[in-house]
A and B are shown apart, each in its own frame.
Chain A
Amino acid sequence: MALPASVPEEPITAQAAHAEPPVIDLHGLSVSFGRRQILKNLRGDLRGRAIGLLGPNGAGKTTLIHTLLGFHPASAGTAQIFGLDISEQAKQIRALIGYMPERDSFIAKMSAVHFVRLMGELSGLPSEAALERAHEALFYVGLGEARYRRLETYSLGMKQLAKLAQAIVHGPKLIFLDEPTNGLDPPARLRMIKLIREIRDSGKAHIVLSSHLLLDVEECCDEILILRDGQIVVYCNLEEERKSNRKFLMLETRGDQEKFVKAINQLGCEYALTGDHRLKIVLQEGVEVRDLYRLAEESQVQLRRLSYKRDSLEDIFLKAMENGYGGL
């Protein structure tokens, strides 16, 4: 079975014509913990305004973020962020980065404004500027009224927002968001998504969003990178995928499906079996729906249902997971 959005074998260049250095440039990056290799020879340059990092548990998403932040050394290869090498210019890189960790992270016995101010100062802001921006960041994320409360007394949703505030207080050029909607109720999740989109649309910062929730990534990101077993299985531009003219059809059939799919394959169309008697087809240039009716007749297959379907992120993700591995 075929059809991932793109399965890179060669270095990826999403928009190769760019003169600016890519946001993240991976040069055969590998990371090992002991004998276990977590990230395997990652290559590619990511240039999106908002890049979604997807993958099942243990795929290496968080390890990739941590390595880019300089928390783990690369066992082979390297990476660059805005043209700066992660192993040689880690400190300069971290001055350009904001990071919102996945786990509950805060400094105890501090009010939110004190905490965000401290984080601002550690990023190099003078004390007064840090205080001013701490107030602004907390208002921006919606914690303005609760900014003098101690962080220990915050709800999970408020803690997530406080983490976002500390990540943006110094106005970074790149923000890593690791599972920002984890544990949030629907209104809080919507608020978080809205904030991420606002930051993205401001055009002042790039975002790398790591999430298990495909919907979050779909709503916020223009590019996605899917990892599996420490390898890149898909890297694509969601917008381009959406805009592409590839036609997706969902079919429900009865009869000898095997013969039918063989005939479809011979026609040059990519297909995927999505369940009992159901299959999804990508119509290639020059292939019309009436050709399918003809093939169905020849294969003595009944077409019970036929509907158009565009490739969603879920499709891309599921295909990436299936591709070459035989399923999730």
Chain B
Amino acid sequence: MAVYEQTYKPYTGKLTPEWSRFLIIPRHAFRVVFKSKLFTAFYVIGFLPLLVEAVLIYLHHNTTALTIMKLNDRELFVIDGSFFQTFVYIQGVFAFFVGLLVGPPLVSRDLRNNALPLYLCRPFTRTEYVMGKMSVLLILLSWITWVPQLLMFLFQSYLEGFAWFRANLWMASSIVIAGVVWVLLLALLSQTVSALLKWRIVASAAMLGIVFIPSVFGSVFINILFRTKWGDVISLFALMGHVTSGLFGTYDTVAGRFTVEDFNTVREIVITNPPLWACWVALFLFSAACLALLSWKVKAYEVVK
């Protein structure tokens, strides 16, 4: 079917492997996403904390520079699990906002323009469609979360030596697991919201609402009213905080202690964090709910009963 021939001709060439076809979606989506200069600028800003992190690691090992700046590295900061955990948090928050910008229109735009039949009438399944759409966020968010963090870890290992690397290898796995879990949750959440709501602004607002309303409800109504920390299990940020702390070995079961005077007796009340297993279960249930909703909504045509 050459342009000049103007006749219908079947395609007889080679075909791409089926397993790789879901990656076509992110490739085309990135073109659309990075067409926006505003988004590109925002995404680049996301690398600034990493630059700060790299500089801190470099300074930590550069005594000349510290001497010039009259700083003592050992008093300033220690490069350990907490150091990387702090930057995992910072990048996690940033990833949330990137997800908020990129995620909601991904499926909703297809639903609004009836594009799903166009995808699904080809040798392309619903699972591949969801995987393709999710991988847009998984790739985009990975590049600003666990991938650069892992590079920072390797940078630190390079400067500190192989013994440090071997002794702290668990940190690398913590960085990867915490990053992947967070990125996966954000991708699932934004795709679900996007599949349920056809309008981008409404979907973005819903995503914000799903994250922040339960957080406020959990911390204000449940935690304060009942003097507990179990309200955290409905807050995505709090759950991730606990899980990340657990992975970096900084998780404390005691969230706080305070004393109460009651009829001339002084009582100490200990508030405990929800156990780590409960946090993992809550995250798992959240993901399962998102997957169930996605499976329900992502269809070529919805049958109206």
Contact = CB atoms under 8 A, between A and B. Distances in A.
A144 interface: yes
Contact of B6 (A95, A129, A140, A168): A140
Contact of B24 (A33, A34, A121): A121
Interface stretch (B12-20, B42-50, B143-151, B201-209): B12-20
B114 interface: yes
B270 to A, nearest CB: 54
Contact of B114 (A95, A104, A198): A104
A98 B1 CA distance: 16
A189 interface: no
Interface string A96-126: 0111010111111110001000110111111
A154 to B, nearest CB: 12
Interface stretch (A130-138, A242-250, A268-276, A316-324): A130-138
Interface stretch (B85-93, B117-125, B229-237): B117-125
A116 to B, nearest CB: 10
Contacts of B120: 69-71
Interface in B24-47: 24, 28, 31-32, 35
Contact of A125 (B2, B16, B301): B16
Contact of B28 (A114, A133, A166, A168): A114
Nearest to B129: A122
Contacts of B3: 135-136, 139, 144
A122 B119 contact: yes
Contact of A107 (B1, B12, B110, B123): B110
B16 A94 contact: no
Contact of A140 (B8, B15, B118): B8
B121 A94 contact: yes
A198 B109 CA distance: 34
Interface in A137-154: 137, 139-140, 144
A277 interface: no
Given A33-B303, A109-B109, A91 B125 contact: yes
Given A107-B113, A121-B16, A170 B118 contact: no
B113 A105 contact: yes
Contact of B8 (A92, A101, A205): A205
B194 to A, nearest CB: 13
A173 interface: yes
B109 A202 contact: no
B11 A170 contact: yes
A205 B14 CA distance: 19
B305 interface: yes
Contacts of B119: 122
Given A92-B123, A122-B24, A123-B122, A171 B114 contact: no
B24 A125 contact: no
A122 B303 contact: no
Nearest to B35: A109
A259 interface: no
Contacts of A27: none
B123 A123 contact: yes
A72 interface: yes
B21 interface: yes
B122 A94 contact: yes
B126 to A, nearest CB: 10
Given A124-B16, A135-B3, A103 B124 contact: no
B21 A171 contact: no
Interface string B75-119: 000000000000000000000000000000000011011110111
A199 interface: yes
Contacts of A118: 24, 28
Interface in A33-52: 33-34
A101 B10 contact: no
A66 interface: yes
A55 B135 CA distance: 42
A294 interface: no
B121 A171 contact: no
Interface in A143-183: 144, 166, 168, 170-173
B297 interface: no
B121 A124 contact: no
Nearest to B32: A109
B8 A198 contact: yes
Which of A98, A104, A122 gathers most chain B CB within 10 Å? A122
A101 B110 contact: no
B265 interface: no
B123 A95 contact: yes
A254 interface: no
A33 B8 contact: no
A94 B114 contact: no
A204 interface: yes
Given A133-B11, A205-B10, A124 B301 contact: no
A121 B123 CA distance: 10
B118 A107 contact: yes
Nearest to A99: B121
Contacts of A104: 113-114
Contacts of B9: 171, 202, 204
Contact of A34 (B7, B35, B113, B305): B305
Interface of B: 1-3, 6-16, 18, 21, 24, 28, 31-32, 35, 109-110, 112-115, 117-125, 299-301, 303, 305
Nearest first, the 6 closest Cβ-Cβ pairs linking A and B are A171-B10, A124-B15, A99-B121, A171-B11, A71-B300, A105-B114
Given A33-B305, A198-B8, 15 more contacts: A70-B120, A71-B117, A94-B124, A99-B121, A105-B117, A122-B21, A124-B16, A125-B15, A136-B3, A140-B1, A140-B6, A168-B8, A173-B10, A202-B7, A204-B9
